[in-house]
Amino acid sequence: MKYLITGGAGFIGLKLTKELLKNYRNKVYIIDSLINNSENKKLSNVLKNKKVKLIKKDLNHISSLKIYDFDYIFHFAAVLGVKNVIDNPYTTLKENILSTISLINFSKKQKKLKKICFASTSEVYAYSLKSKLVKYPTPENIDFLISKDFNPRTSYLLSKVVGEYLMNYSGLNFVIFRPHNIFGPQMGFRHVIPQLTKKILQYSKNKIIIQNAKHKRTFCDINFAIDLILRISHSKNSRNSTFNIGSPDNEISIIDLAQKIKKILNSKKKLISSNIKKFNSPEKRKPDMKRSLRYSKIKHNFEKGLKETVMWYKEYYTK
């Protein structure tokens, strides 16, 4: 089968590419502007495989591409990252919507497309949760609430909500994924697990302040997420539906996560909880996984994934 993965040089897209290449009959095309990934060793290794091709392009400039025989299109490219989004809300909203429209136009020219699979986000639930308007853990079939305050962080979730609507109105067969805190080696440096690892390893002081310490999350190992994404995408039953992609485990507070990382690193530093709220971050986030788990065939292993990830970052930060 022939796959197109936008944002395929990124964390989730590249892992998906590697998984698809395990089947020698598959061909994978990646479209990525490489804005975040100009020097990615893992990408260069994957590109050694003749069954994968990188098209280094911004999604807004793909109208000249003359390939019409993709079976599946995965849309992972997006402007993201909390700080980046807060600093650039206009660009986030505009680019994410325009690039999705550009990809939908390209997808409509495809002759045998089975599905377009769109990565939305868990953030779409943020305001509905804050206003206590939805069940918790959050199921997929709820109404969205958008804040009146034009907080810059909203630009990202709004661009994803519009993306979901575009998928629904496009006339294409689609699947929507709402990923919740996916983690693994090479996830980038802006997420909580790499940042806590760096703090514990590199801060010269013996006391480390942990921000948003009481906030709670479930963290989903990338291997579990990829398995779910592939099974759901390939199933006939998933057509035109939306799925949470996350961990089915219990929540963990950020301070408890930091303690686990400290233990893996064998550190003696003291962790101090701080309640200073940073980046208007949601206090809790946990997906209802009932719908997605019907497709699952492997067990989620948070502890194993966390150890592998922390050790990967340890090697990176101390080399």
Ligand X SMILES: NC(=O)c1ccc[n+]([C@@H]2O[C@H](COP(=O)([O-])OP(=O)(O)OC[C@H]3O[C@@H](n4cnc5c(N)ncnc54)[C@H](O)[C@@H]3O)[C@@H](O)[C@H]2O)c1
Cβ distance to ligand X smaller for residue 271 or 282: 282
Indicate which single residue of 1, 26, 36, 147 sits in contact with ligand X (rule: CB under 6 A). 36
Stretch that binds ligand X, among 144-152, 174-182, 236-244, 309-317 (CB under 6 A): 174-182
Cβ distance to ligand X smaller for residue 96 or 271: 96
How far is Cα 225 from Cα 187, in angstroms, rounded to an integer? 13
Whether 278 and 155 have beta carbons less than 8 Å apart is answered as no
How far is Cα 315 from Cα 319, in angstroms, rounded to an integer? 6
Question: Would you give the DSSP letter of residue 94?
Answer: H
Whether 173 and 115 have beta carbons less than 8 Å apart is answered as yes
119-135 residues labelled b (16+ CB within 10 A) or e (exposed): bbbbbbbbbbbeeeebe
Stretch that binds ligand X, among 114-122, 138-146, 247-255, 272-280 (CB under 6 A): 114-122
Rounded to a whole number of angstroms, the minimum distance from the CB of residue 161 to ligand X is 12
**x/- binding map, residues 44-73, to ligand X, per CB under 6 A?**
--------------xx--------------
Cβ distance to ligand X smaller for residue 156 or 295: 156
Under the binding rule (CB under 6 A), the answer on residue 11 touching ligand X is: yes
Under the binding rule (CB under 6 A), the answer on residue 33 touching ligand X is: yes
Stretch that binds ligand X, among 7-15, 134-142, 234-242, 280-288 (CB under 6 A): 7-15
How far is Cα 118 from Cα 50, in angstroms, rounded to an integer? 26
Under the binding rule (CB under 6 A), the answer on residue 9 touching ligand X is: yes
Under the binding rule (CB under 6 A), the answer on residue 13 touching ligand X is: yes
Q: Which residue is nearest to ligand X (CB)?
A: 10
Rounded to a whole number of angstroms, the minimum distance from the CB of residue 266 to ligand X is 27
User: CA 114 from chain center: how many Å?
Assistant: 22
Cβ distance to ligand X smaller for residue 199 or 285: 285
- Does a cis peptide bond (omega within 30 degrees of 0) precede residue 152? no
Residue 222 phi, psi (nearest 5): -55, -35
Whether 72 and 115 have beta carbons less than 8 Å apart is answered as yes
**x/- binding map, residues 72-91, to ligand X, per CB under 6 A?**
----xxxxx-----------
Stretch that binds ligand X, among 2-10, 140-148, 232-240, 255-263 (CB under 6 A): 2-10
Query: Looking only at residues 206 through 245 of this chain, which bind ligand X when binding is defined by CB under 6 A?
Result: none
How far is Cα 303 from Cα 307, in angstroms, rounded to an integer? 6
Under the binding rule (CB under 6 A), the answer on residue 7 touching ligand X is: yes
CB-hemisphere CA count at 13 Å for 179? Answer: 21
Under the binding rule (CB under 6 A), the answer on residue 188 touching ligand X is: yes
Q: Dihedral through CA 124, CA 155, CA 3, CA 244, nearest 10? A: -10
Binding-site ranges for ligand X (CB under 6 A): 6-7, 9-13, 31-37, 58-59, 76-80, 95, 99, 119, 121-122, 179, 181-182, 188
